[in-house]
Amino acid sequence: MVVMFPPTSLLLYPGALWRGNSCSVADVPTIPRILFDLMVSLVFDEIVFYYSHRLLHHPYLYKRIHKKHHEWTAPFGLVAVYAHPIEHLLSNTLTGFAGSFVAGSHLLSVWIWLVCFLSWTVNHHSGYHLPFSRSAQFHDFHHARTYCNFGALGILDYLHGTDSLFQGTVESRRDKTYFSLTPISETIPDTKKN
In this structure, how many other beta carbons lie within 10 angstroms of the beta carbon of residue 108?
Answer: 17
pTM of the model: 0.87
DSSP secondary structure string for all residues of 39-68: HHHHHHHHHHHHHHHHHHTSHHHHHHTGGG
Percent of residues, the chain, with pLDDT higher than 70 = 98
Q: What is the pLDDT of residue 177?
A: 84
Phi, psi dihedrals of residue 64, rounded to the nearest 5°: -95, -25
Tell me the pLDDT of the chain averaged across its residues: 87
Closest by alpha carbon to 19, among 94, 107, 104, 95?
A: 104
DSSP secondary structure string for all residues of 75-114: --GGGGG-S-HHHIIIIIIHHHHHHHHHHT--HHHHHHHH
Grade residue 94 by pLDDT with cuts at 50, 70 and 90: confident
Q: What is the pLDDT of residue 181?
A: 81
Grade residue 157 by pLDDT with cuts at 50, 70 and 90: very high
Does residue 193 surpass a pLDDT of 70? no
User: How confident is the model over 7-38, as pLDDT tens digits?
Assistant: 777 887 788 778 777 777 788 999 999 999 99
Does residue 6 surpass a pLDDT of 80? no
Calculated CA dihedral for residues 30, 95, 93, 77, nearest 10 degrees: 100
Domain boundaries, the chain: 5-187
Distance CA 58, CA 138 (A): 20
